[in-house]
Structure 1
Amino acid sequence: MTRNSQAPRIAKSRAGIRPRPGRTRSGNGNAHNDLMNGEIGLDALAGHAGYAVRRFQIWIFQDFIRTLGAVDIRPTQYSVMTVIGANPGLSQMAVAKRLGIERARLVHLLDSLEQRDLVSRVKSATDRRSHALHLTPRGKASLAQFKRLAAEHERHVAEKIGKDNREQLLRILSAFT
């Protein structure tokens, strides 16, 4: 038999195959429409705090970025500027340690903030290897604007989970800050 003579037989035999019970076929070849509709079971993940916290973090970051998008500030940049604003003259090492940021990542982040004239690094008077971090005048004004927008973002969080739940969540998570 040649290959061409087998083709109709194969096509005919596949036409008679029916999906297993519980399965459906869609036009694009997916076997489970329920999977495409977001009805995927989470099994044990539903009871894992880490999974729930991570999903909430994703939502939080997306809302923060959307709310502060017009001013082009990311959550980590905001955190760094807020800590520097509250502690002028702090060293890079101290900021990295306090916020749990790798030193190399912080250097890159500070470079970008410095290029935008939001942060300045001044050689430390007491340690030649260290820099003291300060907000520039533009950085101070920008941080005030960022804080107003961040407060709007926090209102979104309260709308999503409720004001009392937001406050309770902050109390619970304070053990990690």
Structure 2
Amino acid sequence: MNNLNLLVVKHNQMESERILLRPISLNDAEDMYEYTSDEETTRFIYEQHKDLDQTKNLIANYFVKEPIGKYAIVLKESNKMIGAIEFRVHEWNKSGELGFTLNRHFWGKGYMTEAGKLILGLAFNVLGLERVFSEHEVKNSGSGKVLIRLGMKCEGILRKNQMIKGVLVDSAYYSILKEEYLNFDKKEQ
């Protein structure tokens, strides 16, 4: 089997028509703070950041410390970072886990779907994975809509599965298999 981490590192930059996925750096701190400090953007995932130093610490200790599969979502036209998308590979069962956050000022414009398609292309066409999955807090219907647009199917609800802001919440669990992706991708063209 190929070294999957090496392949992900070789694809640490990907682009589509409107966006670029690239590693996150401290230069992204102000753009990231714009959405990590926004209660509406973060309400289903984590406590909002109180100051720019908190965001810089997150970048240094999470995104830069272990950067594989963690991408800034950047608008090509303005070079503005508008969110982050993360992809964790699980070699033992040839699967990958997708997670994302998007600045609410850019919701409803298709950017997250565009970023997700780049990740699914990496997962199935480059890494040769068999399955990609994701989950979101059940009250966060916007994330569910993104996953459906990516061709994923809801497999069910995991009760009290995630700790968000100190409260156990239910998660909607989605996945897409390689053969479903290949058929879905053909329909999209």
TM beyond 0.5:
no
As a proportion of its length, which structure holds more helix?
Answer: 1
Larger Rg: 1
Length-normalised TM-score, structure 2: 0.30
- TM, length-normalised to structure 1: 0.31
- The structure with the greater share of residues assigned to strand is 2
